[in-house]
């Protein structure tokens, strides 16, 4: 069974940083692209970033490009999202999601999410 467990969320002041982690299990991690998606309280889903299986290709939403960095450690079977220069509008639940293949274009399994609050 595929399992994704996010951690690292919390409260931070505007301009601060956080690093989210997503521990994976139940599949060959390096064979699959991975994605971060966020959901603002009471609102819809917003794609944040994606990374290829080997980590050589990354993609970012315009809203986070230059501030967030996605990475992965296939030896630790873990996905990361380094979030810098955080803004109030980054407040959301962040989900880690597994792609359905090597391609970043589709996601199938989601983690349970970790909450990030940016407030002074």
Partner 1 sequence: QSVLTQPPSASGTPGQRVTISCSGSSSNIGSNTVNWYQQLPGTAPKLLIYSDNKRPSGVPDRVSGSKSGTSASLAISGLQSEDEADYYCAAWDDSLDGLLFGGGTKLTVL
Which residues of this protein are in contact with partner 1, per CB under 8 A? 35, 37, 44-47, 50, 59-62, 95, 100, 104-113
Which residue's CB is nearer to partner 1, number 89 or number 108?
Answer: 108
Which residue's CB is nearer to partner 1, number 62 or number 75?
Answer: 62
To the nearest whole angstrom, how small is the minimum distance from the Cβ of residue 30 to partner 1?
21
Which residue's CB is nearer to partner 1, number 15 or number 23?
Answer: 23
To the nearest whole angstrom, how small is the minimum distance from the Cβ of residue 90 to partner 1?
17
Q: What whole-number distance in Å separates Cα of residue 110 and Cα of residue 60?
A: 18
To the nearest whole angstrom, how small is the minimum distance from the Cβ of residue 100 to partner 1?
6
Structural contact between residues 92 and 83, judged by C-beta atoms closer than 8 angstroms = no
Which residue's CB is nearer to partner 1, number 3 or number 17?
Answer: 3
Q: What whole-number distance in Å separates Cα of residue 95 and Cα of residue 42?
A: 15
Number of H helices, E strands in the chain: 0, 11
């Amino acid at each position: 069974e595929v399992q994704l467990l996010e951690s690292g969320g919390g409260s931070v002041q505007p301009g601060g940083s956080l690093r989210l982690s997503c521990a994976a299990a139940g599949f060959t991690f390096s064979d699959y692209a991975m994605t971060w998606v966020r959901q603002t309280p009471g609102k819809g889903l917003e794609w944040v970033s994606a990374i290829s299986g080997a980590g050589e290709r990354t993609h970012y939403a315009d809203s986070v490009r230059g501030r967030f960095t996605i990475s992965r450690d296939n030896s630790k079977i873990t996905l990361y999202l380094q979030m810098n220069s955080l803004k109030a509008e980054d407040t959301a639940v962040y989900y880690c999601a597994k792609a359905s293949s090597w391609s970043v274009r589709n996601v199938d399994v989601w983690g349970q999410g970790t909450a990030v609050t940016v407030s002074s």
